[in-house]
Amino acid sequence: MKVLVSDAVAQSGVELLQKEFNVDVKVNLDPAELIKIIPEYDALVVRSETKVTKEVLEAAANLKVIGRAGVGVDNIDVEFATKKGVIVLNAPEGNTIAATEHTMAMMLALARNIPQAHASMKNKEWKRSKFMGVEMRGKTLGILGLGRIGTGVAKRALAMEMKVMAYDPFMNAERAEELGIKVAEIDEILTKADFITLHLPKTPQTINMLNKESFAKMKKGVRIVNCARGGVINEVDLAEALKDGTVAGAAIDVFAKEPAGPDNPLLDVDNIVLTPHLGASTAEAQVGVAVDVAEGIIKALNGEPVTTAVNMAPIPAHVLETIQPYLNLAEKMGCLAVHLADGRINAVEVEYNGEISEVDTKMLTTGVIKGMLNPILQEKINYVNAPGLAKARGIKIKEVKSQEIDNFADLITVNVHTDKGLKSVSGTLFGREEQRIVKINGFRVDVEPNGWLLIGPHSNRPGIVGKIGTILGEEQINIAGMQVGRGDIAGTNIMVVNVETDVPTPVLLKIKAIDGMLGAQLVNLNA
């Protein structure tokens, strides 16, 4: 077996590979050089410099695995690698400690005005009273996102005798309480926390999550830390909140646009600590990702399961032939179900009826979980890590199978159990190709699961659907499809509208305010 390391990685990772395989380290290869030599290698190790394109993969006659010494795999054509049967793996945990510790360092620097005091001292000044700080002991820390890094921050904050409350829709309340963390909703954290730290991915749901309205809800003198993703805080609104004293201070490591340009509004604020995306920039983190990716490659080349693979694990050909048409549908059903769910998820039950129940459906169930977790978690969700991430949040997963059929040859139903009740979505294929959602919370529908869906239960009375159409038309939002489904509850229907663009929050609120509407939910199934 031969391994090519085409980017600079920590030597410890290279040495680990050298114990098992023949390893060549050739950095700064241009695309033509890489394409020329890649046929002789079984594995490739990259960071972000090497671009593993379709052309490289087509030339890689013997390639079995690509390892990314880091988290992001944007420089790898994962889709084409999967088609060629090449495993793509990364190192999602190698920088966890670095990011966790940087968050704590930023929080402490913010509390004690350390950067400002240092700058003053370098100017030959001695102004003790100017840099009066606050203690963290006894303060309430609000954590938005309780993944690996968020949990690590919570543990350290508890050791510093802080009170910790956290929001994470996938963290089971009992599991959080075992860690000493109080589970809370976002608004409760905004109103009660002395410090707020974000550990959320950047998604359509989290962009500008903290904005002018959020800051207005916060306790006077709150301090905010963001070492997660740029864009989840509205930088213009944060700058104003810092200037007018609504927010006492902020510590920011990530920015909406990087590198942060001279026009970034946060650069003109005094009561802020800024670093240039240093969350993973430690010698140990670089060693960690190199070792992690080396261990993954060793397992892959030895035919062992790879827990850090970002693409689908191999499954028997006859099983894949049966379930492959359902994989995309399963993910979309999971995405739709989690958006409909109200409260904290305790369990997910996936029912298989008809012929689909006769094969191994674990991959489909994993697809459902992947679709549920992907819109909200900061981690990159794949078919390997989705079950573990669900388990870590106390979500119980169960499959139920039956060959009995009702109106469909095959039917998949996702039941999401929360502390506030049950939500369900059923789907099937028409002609093994056309994906359809056929039930939502017991209401019979026929929905193509693509793009934006506006979903609204409502009273069965004239005029409601027309009013919704009028509102959308006035806002220049085009309707691609609309239907009304009936359920078991007399006098109640559900409306599903396929819209071609996002529906802004003010428009959604206007729809919810229509007399007879029992709610309105917008879901983007292509996000």
d(CA 227, CA 199) in angstroms, rounded, equals 7
Strand partners, 163: 140
| CB atoms closer than 10 angstroms to residue 161 | 11
Contacts of 145 (CB under 8 A, 6+ apart): 166, 167, 168, 198, 199, 200, 201, 228, 377, 378
Separation CA 487–CA 483 (nearest Å): 13
**What is the CB-side half-sphere exposure of residue 161 using CA atoms within 13 A?**
4
Active-site option among 277, 436, 444, 486: 277
CA 39/CA 68 separation, integer angstroms:
19
For residue 287, the 8-state DSSP code is: H
- In the sheet with 443-447, reading across from the earlier edge strand, the strands are 396-402, 345-354, 410-418, 421-430, 434-440, 443-447
Choose the catalytic residue: 58, 258, 284, 304.
258
458 is annotated as an active-site residue: no
Q: Which amino acid is at 48?
A: S
Contact 385, 352 (CB under 8 A): no
Task: Give Cα separations from 333 to 47, 79, 90, 329, 336 (angstroms).
Answer: 34, 21, 27, 6, 5
Run of H or E including 247:
strand 247-252
CB 321 within 8 A of CB 373: no
Give yes or no: 175 in active site: no
Can you tell me the distance from the alpha carbon of 76 to that of 87, in angstroms, rounded to the nearest whole number? 11
CA dist 500 and 71 (Å) reads 32
- The DSSP annotation for 504-521 comes to -HHHHHHHHTSTTB---E
CA distances from 401 to 156, 351, 418, 428 (A): 44, 6, 22, 15
Closest residue by Cα to residue 475 from 449, 499, 450: 499
118 included as an active-site residue: no
**Reduced to 3 states, what is the DSSP secondary structure of residue 216?**
helix
Catalytic residue among 148, 223, 229, 417: 229
Hey, which residues are catalytic here?
229, 258, 277
